[in-house]
Amino acid sequence: MNRVKVAVFQEAKKGNNECGDSYFYSETENEFICALADGLGSGEFAKESSEIVINIIKENINSPVEELVKKCNEKLIGKRGTVLAILKIDYHSNSYSISSIGNVGVMTITRGNTKKRSIPNAGYLAGFNRKFQVIQEPLENEMNFIMYTDGVTSKELTEHYFFEKEVERITKTFAFKSKDSRKDDTTLIAVRYEHN
Ligand SMILES: [Mn+2]
């Protein structure tokens, strides 16, 4: 019962000890969930907000994506805002759901090597109600999902190694190609779905 493989690259902005990005992923028999949050600004307050959001998701992994976003938003009242992306793969309905609020991205790659970047909702989570969309698409076998914060550049996302089947190769190639110091906190999560 293990349909998903995950590899993560994470590095703090040059000169910072701590990365303001937080993430979490988990697979159960029914589904896979991955969330990535980037606290606005940098340093410890940024980390605090992104951790709040990730903890809410950890505690509520069975909730639908829409509810998760709402719960996260509520907990950010009086805190620094954060941007957030959530991916859920549902094994029963054979579909996946994505919602991203603000500048944190999700890219899907199908077996036919079609790359698609999901369109994020504008803004960020900061405790006030805002409209957002959750997209739901049919799941295809042997898909890659790439989740990334804004330390990853658009140019980097065009590289061919994102088609790789081994998630470790994706994150290691990314690390190798970005030896220069990062200008922003950077997290790149490579997810591979494969089911026989
Ligand atoms: Mn950032």
**d(CA 190, ligand 1 centre) in Å:** 18
pLDDT tens-digit profile of 163-185?
999 999 999 999 998 867 788 89
Q: Could you list the residue range(s) of the whole structural domain that residue 86 is in?
A: 4-193
Residue with the two structure tokens 């076998």: 141
**d(CA 91, ligand 1 centre) in Å:** 31
Q: In the predicted model, what is the mean pLDDT of residues 1-23?
A: 90
Instruction: Specify the pLDDT at position 1.
Output: 57
How does strand 115-117 pair with strand 31-39?
unpaired
Instruction: Specify the pLDDT at position 184.
Output: 87
**d(CA 192, ligand 1 centre) in Å:** 24
**d(CA 30, ligand 1 centre) in Å:** 31
| Domains held by the chain: number | 1
pTM comes to 0.95
- Round the average pLDDT of the chain to a whole number and report it: 93
CATH number of 83's domain = 3.60.40.10
R_g over Cα of the chain: 16
Instruction: Specify the pLDDT at position 44.
Output: 76
pLDDT tens-digit profile of 104-143?
999 999 988 899 999 889 999 998 888 899 999 999 999 9
- 109 forms beta bridges with 115, 144
**d(CA 163, ligand 1 centre) in Å:** 24
**d(CA 189, ligand 1 centre) in Å:** 14
CA 115 → CA 103, 144, 146, 160, 176, distances in Å? Answer: 19, 9, 10, 10, 22
Tokens of 154: 């658009």
Instruction: Specify the pLDDT at position 45.
Output: 79
Nearest CA among 59, 11, 18 for reference residue 35: 59
Q: In the predicted model, what is the mean pLDDT of residues 17-26?
A: 93
